[in-house]
Amino acid sequence: MIKLNFNSEIDKKGGAKLLKEIAMDPMGGWLMLPKEIDTGEFVRIKEAAKEIRDSSEYLVCIGIGGSYLGHRAIIEALRPQSETKIIYAGNSLSKRELDWALDKVGDHDFSVNVISKSGTTLEPAIAFAAFKEKLIQKYGEEGAYQRMYATTDAKKGALHDEAAACGYKMFVVPDNIGGRYSVLTAVGLLPMAVAGVDVDKLLEGASDAIETAVEPALRYATMRFSLDGRRYDTEIFASFEPATMYFNEWLKQLFGESEGKDKRGILPDSVIYSTDLHSLGQYIQDGRRNLFETIIDYPTDEMNAKVVKAVQMAHAEGGIPVLTIGVPSFDEKGFGELIYFFELSCALSAKMIGVNPFDQPGVEAYKTKLKELLAE
C-alpha cells in the first residue's frame, strides 16, 4: 500500500463528490479500468506480444506524450528480460533521432507498434511513414502489414482508417480514456508485454489501488491544493533510483497537461538524487522558496536510504515542504499501484483547482500553429 509521511485534513464528503464527478466524466474510463479491462482485448494483446517476440529482434514503438511515456517509464524502471528490444520513435521531430532509430534497427527483424489515439499527430505520423517504408522494403507489402500493430481509436482517424484498409492488427484506445491516463490500456500493455513486463501483476497492483489509494490520493491532492494556496507554485518530484527517470517524465506530463490551464496549476519538475544534488540541489536547498518537494520513496538499499533521510532533513531545514510517498515494492505490483495513485491524485487535484483534468487545449494550440507554418 502507498504510504504517506504527511497528514492533511481531508474532506471525505467533498472527496467523494469529486470522485463521483470523475466517474461520471466522459473521460473518466481509467477510474475502474484495472477491474473492468476488456478480457478479449487483453488476450489479443498477450497473443500479439508473443507473436512479436517470436518474430522480431526489435519492436519499434512509435508515439508521443501519453502514447509513449507511461510504458517507457515502466519498461525502463523494471528492466525486464526479453529477446525483443524496444526502440522508441516518433516522440520528436528530430531527423537525427529518426535516422538513429532506423540505423539501429538496421537489417534486424522488426515489427512496429504505432500508437496514436487521434491518429493525426505529426511526430508519430512521420516516423511511421519512415518505418513503414523500411518494413515494405524488407518484407514486401503483405509481410510488412503483418508486422504492423496499430493502437488507436476504435472507429475514426487517419491511422484507424489506414489500419482497417491494410489489415494491420488493431488495438483500441477506449473513447473514455485520454492519452496520459492510458498506460493500462493497449497503449502501454502491448509494448510492456513485449518487453517482458508482467502485465497481469501490473494490473493487479492497479486494481488493488482502486480501494487502497483513494484516501492517500485525497490526502496528497488536498496537501497540494493547500500548498498552491500558500503560493508554492512548483513541485519537484524527487526519486533516488535513476531507472525511474522516465517515471518522473510521465508524472510531469500527467500533472502538467492535466492542471496547467486557465492560468492555474502547479509547475511540475523532477530530479534524480543523489545525481541532481550536484546540480539542481543547490537551487532546491537555497534558491527561491516557491517550491515543494515530493519524494517518491522506492524501496532501496541501505546507503541510498540514508541519502533519502539526509535530503528530507536538509530540505526541511532549508524551508521546503517535503512530502514523501512510500512505494510498497519495486516491481509490477508496486508500479501498478503507483500509476493508479498518481492518476487519481492528479484528477482530484485538477478538480480542486477547478480545471478540466482531461483536456489539453494548449497542446492543440501548438499543433495548429505548426500546421500553419508547414502549409506555408
Q: Interface residues with ligand PA5 (CB under 6 A)?
A: 64-67, 116-118, 121, 124, 178-180, 257, 360, 363
Of the listed 235, 257, 259, 332, which one is catalytic? 257
Give me the residue whose beta carbon is nearest to ligand PA5: 179
What is the smallest separation between the CB atom of 37 and ligand PA5, expressed in angstroms?
A: 19
Q: Could you tell me how far CA 141 lies from the centroid of its own chain?
A: 33
**Whole-angstrom distance, CA of residue 257 vs CA of residue 251:** 10
**Residue (of 171, 48, 191) closest to 119 by Cα position:** 171
* Smallest distance from ligand PA5 to CB 147, Å: 21
Contact between 192 and 74 under an 8 Å Cβ cutoff? The reply is: yes
- Spot the catalytic one: 13, 83, 263, 278: 278
Say how far apart CA 348 and CA 208 lie, in whole Å. 19
Distance CA 172, CA 41 (A): 8
Q: Which residues pair with 237 in a beta bridge?
A: 270, 294
Nearest distance from C-beta of residue 2 to ligand PA5, angstroms: 23
CB atoms within 10 A of CB 227: 19
Q: Which is nearer to ligand PA5, 77 or 183 (CB)?
A: 183
C-alpha triplet 204, 254, 213: angle, nearest 5° = 40
* Of 146, 185, 136, nearest in space to 29 by CA: 185
Instruction: Provide the minimum distance between the beta carbon of 136 and ligand PA5 in the complex, in angstroms, as a whole number.
Output: 23
Nearer to ligand PA5, 40 or 361 (CB): 361
Q: Which is nearer to ligand PA5, 150 or 199 (CB)?
A: 150
How near is the Cβ of 173 to ligand PA5 at its closest, in Å? 7
Known catalytic residue at 367? yes
133 flagged as catalytic: no
C-alpha cell at 180: 496520459
Length, in residues, of the chain: 376
CA pair distance 261, 78, nearest whole angstrom: 33
Does residue 278 have an active-site annotation?
A: yes
Which is nearer to ligand PA5, 92 or 274 (by Cβ)? 92
Catalytic residues: 257, 278, 367
